[in-house]
Amino acid sequence: MTVADTGTASATRVHRRRPRILRNLASKTASIPMVATVLVIFIGCTLWTVIYSFTKSRLLPVPLFETMPLFSIPVPHLLASDGSWDFTLITGLKSSSFVGTDQYDRLWGTRRWIVSIGNLGIYGLCSMTFSLVIGFTLAALLDRKIRFENAFRTIILYPFALSFIVTGLVWQWILNPNFGIQKVVRDLGFENFVFDPLYNDKYVVYGILIAGLWQGTGLVMCLMLAGIRGIDEDIWKASRVEGIPVWKTYVMIVIPMMRPVFVTSVVIIGAGIVKVYDLVVAQTSGGPGISSQMPALYVMDKMFKDQNLAQGFAASTVMLMTVAIILIPWAYFEFGRKKNV
Amino acid sequence: MNTNNFSVQIKDLDLAFGPVKVLRSLDLDINHGEFLVLLGSSGCGKSTLLNCIAGLLEPTDGQIFINGENVTWKEPSERGIGMVFQSYALYPQMTVEGNLTFGLRNARMPKAEIQKRVARAAEILQIEPLLQRKPGALSGGQRQRVASGRALVRDVDVFLFDEPLSNLDAKLRADLRVEIKRLHEQLQNTMIYVTHDQIEAMTLADRIAIMKGGNIMQLGTPHEIYNKPLNKYVADFIGSPSMNFLDGEFKGGAFVKGDVRLPMKGYEFQAAQTPDQAVTIGIRPEHVITGELVANAPVKMEAKVELIEPMGSDTLVWVRVAGEPFRIRVDGQTQLRNRETLTIGIDPARASLFARESEVRL
């Protein structure tokens, strides 16, 4: 009797089952805004930018299929008003908005862009290396059960709370030869001391780098410290019993165990590098000359100052492609491999 | 004093974290080849003591000797010890072989010697097929074996185990307990083993040190600890189900509580003369005599069954003696009914008598 009952109950439930699209309707509805955002902003706008980078847009985006007379046949007809003859032109259509890779040719022919790329390369490489090394070293030092750990951690993380504009301004003052470090050291009596990285086109990138590191390493340190703390205390005891030096334990055992933390840090630092803009604006505005130009600065200038939208789009497309070229193989190895195992 | 007779010797060891004293002037001598278990509930200082022996914690005062050598201020790696941790502490990115050899390679030991030691350890622990695997691909029991192997390849005289079986399920724990015992039989080196599991302690130990609040409450063979607990704490801690305690008076050679009178005939007193005083008597549930044997028991009494807890092999029966709840362990096949009256017998020779105030064995 009971068996039969359950049988009917489950049968009706199967019968009532709604079509796939209507199941979990509430959660699907709730995710619509996010899905829309992704489709419109991330994918839509990216595609739009890429497509328009092949046009000749200047102040405003051009209509994609602007017309231009390809051929014209004059058709005579009488004007109603005064009875005289007039000609109307019948025109053929031709897409004239697309200029092919012209914007890219121009981009790579611009010295300012080449300098930007070079600067970004130096800045990125140094920023990535030093952020990781300094961040990890600070975290390792803090991890050695020191006194006032919380105070140190706060002090080191504090710059992260400032905006890049403020950081840039502060460091512009510190590195300014007339008020900053150079002035202080000269006042101490070293009359010939020179330290003006922001005013020297050879070292200006490193001046920006200092400010960037000052701001960014705190966060990396906190991430690393959390990672180090997450490692089992027994691992340290085991390595001590085996007589492995502390530095070797860090390098050979702790760092490999912290792989996820390093991945997170690399992503955060990497994103910071690619979009470096405000720091440069606040410190040098790309000067002296064009010696501290960055790609993001180039894009902004082209789009909003030079009224050359398509050129800015082309530059940002190149930036996107560069990131994708680095990211896609990495993501493939990182996530694709795990699926196979 | 000649210290060479002992494998590990601890003299007057103190350890304090600020105002909190974790170990209090602790003395402990461990013989060569002995299996010593440090047993106690959490926070009793047993792991702290082990970490002091290993050199992972610096004692506030006192000395530690290993093989007659004062190692109080030596690095853990120079003390001639190997240690197995509760979480195993294997290096996850190295293979089993890498885990076994990392310390040796770091000490720049010749390759041939490393090979020899790894082969020996792998054979003893039967982990040869696992050598090229990573710890993540091993089961809990296998990881435990690798952790033991890492201590084994160090070729040391003293092994320290810090609750090595706590992370395993009950069945595996019983299996590995036997393996550790076998390992000790085979290697014959000194082993110091920390646990909170009294079965592990009883089965493995040559001697057990029961700790409480940074002191050793009793040090003795499992037999002594079980049969002649030196104080009420030890009596209560060891044995499952735990001992029955009755508060009463010691008067004229007998334990008296209300209308219950137990002449302590055959009981081995610690002192030649024991004055009359307030006492607590401890009787293990399994030492209460029931069934046909009651006829020969030195003391007999009637008790009414209040509750029955069958456990398969045994049955635990709750009765009331002198108005107090009292546990009796009987054979699992015994047929009993609630509210049935039972004749039970008690042998005072197997009971334990403690002074009520000091809780020390009389």
Q: Indicate whether A253 belongs to any domain.
A: yes
Tokens representing B130?
A: 């696992």
- Give the pLDDT confidence of B128-169 residue by residue, as tens digits: 999 999 999 998 889 999 999 999 998 898 999 999 998 888
Q: For residues B167 and B140, give the distance between their C-alpha atoms in angstroms, rounded to a whole number.
A: 8
Hey, is the C-beta of B89 within 8 angstroms of any chain A C-beta? yes
The per-residue pLDDT for A4 is 46
Chain B nearest CA to A313, separation (Å): 45
B83, A253: Cβ pair inside 8 Å?
A: no
Q: Produce one character per residue of A260-288: b if its CB has 16 or more CB atoms within 10 Å, e if not.
A: ebbebbeeebbebbbebbbbbbbbbebee
- Give the pLDDT confidence of B79-138 residue by residue, as tens digits: 889 999 999 999 999 999 999 999 999 888 999 999 999 999 999 988 999 999 999 999
Q: Indicate whether A58 belongs to any domain.
A: no
The per-residue pLDDT for B264 is 87
List the single residue in B86, B93, B102 with the smallest CB-CB distance to A234.
B86
The per-residue pLDDT for A7 is 46
Which of A10-19, A330-339, B56-65 shows the lowest per-residue confidence on average (mean pLDDT)?
A10-19
Judgement on whether residues A214 and A255 belong to the same structural domain of the protein: yes
* Helix/strand/coil for A316: helix
Chain B nearest CA to A258, separation (Å): 11
ipTM of the complex: 0.83
Please provide residue B156's backbone torsions phi and psi, each rounded to the nearest 5 degrees. Answer: -115, 170
In the predicted model, what is the mean pLDDT of residues A162-177?
88
Q: Indicate whether A259 belongs to any domain.
A: yes
| pLDDT level of residue A3 (50, 70, 90 thresholds) | very low
Percent of chain B predicted with pLDDT > 90: 49
List the single residue in B81, B87, B154 with the smallest CB-CB distance to A232.
B87
Residue of B nearest to A253 (CA): B91
Which residue's entry shows tokens 């004093």?
B1
As a residue count, chain A comes to 341
Judgement on whether residues A118 and A265 belong to the same structural domain of the protein: yes
B78 contacts on A by Cβ (under 8 Å)? 243
Judgement on whether residues A144 and A231 belong to the same structural domain of the protein: yes
Q: Indicate whether A57 belongs to any domain.
A: no
Return mean pLDDT, chain A: 83
Q: For residues A243 and A255, give the distance between their C-alpha atoms in angstroms, rounded to a whole number.
A: 18
In this predicted structure, the answer to whether residue A185 has a pLDDT above a threshold of 60 is: yes
Residue B180 CB burial class (10 angstroms; 0-12, 13-18, ≥19): buried
B88, A252: Cβ pair inside 8 Å?
A: no
B89, A238: Cβ pair inside 8 Å?
A: yes
Look at residues B126, B119, B122 and name the one whose alpha carbon lies nearest to residue B179: B126
Judgement on whether residues A254 and A294 belong to the same structural domain of the protein: yes
CB pairs under 8 A between A and B: 60
In this predicted structure, the answer to whether residue A201 has a pLDDT above a threshold of 90 is: no
- CATH number for the domain spanning A147: value is 1.10.3720.10
Enumerate chain A positions whose Cβ falls within 8 A of a Cβ in B: 232, 234-235, 237-238, 240-245, 248, 252-253, 256-257
Q: For residues B90 and B103, give the distance between their C-alpha atoms in angstroms, rounded to a whole number.
A: 12
In this predicted structure, the answer to whether residue A9 has a pLDDT above a threshold of 70 is: no
List the single residue in A240, A243, A256 with the smallest CB-CB distance to B56.
A240
A234, B91: Cβ pair inside 8 Å?
A: no
Hey, is the C-beta of B226 within 8 angstroms of any chain A C-beta? no
A234, B75: Cβ pair inside 8 Å?
A: no
- Give the pLDDT confidence of A247-258 residue by residue, as tens digits: 999 999 999 999
Q: Indicate whether A297 belongs to any domain.
A: yes
The per-residue pLDDT for A80 is 66
Q: Which CATH architecture group holds B240-355?
A: Beta Barrel (2.40)
- Give the pLDDT confidence of A286-320 residue by residue, as tens digits: 778 888 889 899 999 888 888 888 889 999 999 99
Hey, is the C-beta of B56 within 8 angstroms of any chain A C-beta? yes
Q: For residues A130 and A122, give the distance between their C-alpha atoms in angstroms, rounded to a whole number.
A: 12
- Give the pLDDT confidence of A45-90 residue by residue, as tens digits: 999 888 888 887 777 777 666 555 555 666 777 766 677 777 666 5
Judgement on whether residues A195 and A333 belong to the same structural domain of the protein: yes
B163 in Cβ contact with B200 (< 8 Å): no
List the single residue in A237, A248, A256 with the smallest CB-CB distance to B89.
A237
The per-residue pLDDT for B120 is 92
| pLDDT level of residue B231 (50, 70, 90 thresholds) | very high
Judgement on whether residues A279 and A317 belong to the same structural domain of the protein: yes
Count how many domains chain A has. Answer: 3
**Longest distance between any two alpha carbons in chain A, whole Å:** 111
Hey, is the C-beta of B85 within 8 angstroms of any chain A C-beta? yes
Tokens representing A208?
A: 């920006």
Please provide residue B133's backbone torsions phi and psi, each rounded to the nearest 5 degrees. Answer: -90, 165
A242, B81: Cβ pair inside 8 Å?
A: no
Q: For residues A311 and A317, give the distance between their C-alpha atoms in angstroms, rounded to a whole number.
A: 10
Q: Where in chain B is the domain with CATH 2.40.50.140?
A: 240-355
The per-residue pLDDT for A68 is 55
CATH number of B6-236: 3.40.50.300
B77, A256: Cβ pair inside 8 Å?
A: no
Q: Indicate whether A34 belongs to any domain.
A: yes
Name residue A57's amino acid: S
Expressed as residue numbers, the domain containing A77 is 63-96
Hey, is the C-beta of B18 within 8 angstroms of any chain A C-beta? no
Name residue A255's amino acid: I
> Bigger pLDDT: A33 or A63?
A33
Judgement on whether residues A75 and A182 belong to the same structural domain of the protein: no
Q: Indicate whether A191 belongs to any domain.
A: yes
> Bigger pLDDT: B46 or A192?
B46
A235 contacts on B by Cβ (under 8 Å)? 89, 91
Chain A nearest CA to B5, separation (Å): 25
| pLDDT level of residue A341 (50, 70, 90 thresholds) | very low
In the predicted model, what is the mean pLDDT of residues A165-188?
88
The per-residue pLDDT for B259 is 82
List the single residue in B88, B93, B106 with the smallest CB-CB distance to A242.
B106
The per-residue pLDDT for A13 is 52
- Give the pLDDT confidence of B298-332 residue by residue, as tens digits: 888 888 899 999 988 899 999 988 888 999 999 88
The per-residue pLDDT for A305 is 87
The per-residue pLDDT for A91 is 56
In the predicted model, what is the mean pLDDT of residues A34-42?
91
The per-residue pLDDT for B227 is 92
Judgement on whether residues A281 and A309 belong to the same structural domain of the protein: yes
Chain B nearest CA to A230, separation (Å): 13
In this predicted structure, the answer to whether residue B67 has a pLDDT above a threshold of 80 is: yes
In the predicted model, what is the mean pLDDT of residues B207-227?
93
Q: Which residues contact A316 (CB under 8 A, 6 or more apart)?
A: A49, A53, A299
The per-residue pLDDT for B1 is 46
| pLDDT level of residue B337 (50, 70, 90 thresholds) | confident
Q: At what angle do helices A102-109 and A111-143 cross, to 10 degrees?
A: 70
- Give the pLDDT confidence of A112-162 residue by residue, as tens digits: 999 999 999 999 999 999 999 999 999 999 888 888 888 888 888 888 888
The per-residue pLDDT for B262 is 87
